[in-house]
Amino acid sequence: MAETQSQPVNRRMASLSTLERGIVVLVGITALTHIYPGIVEGAPPLVLAGLGFLGGAALYVRGVRRQALTVAAIPYTAVQIPLWVVIKAGDYTLVGYVDKAVQVVLVLALLALVAGRYRD
Residue 3 pLDDT grade (very low, low, confident, very high; cuts 50, 70, 90)? very low
pLDDT tens, position by position, 19-72: 999 999 999 999 999 999 999 989 999 999 999 999 999 999 999 999 999 999
- Segment 70-117, tens digit of pLDDT: 999 999 999 999 999 999 888 999 999 999 999 999 999 999 999 987
- Its pTM stands at 0.85
Give the model's pLDDT for residue 109.
98
CA 87, CA 46: separation in Å to the nearest integer?
12
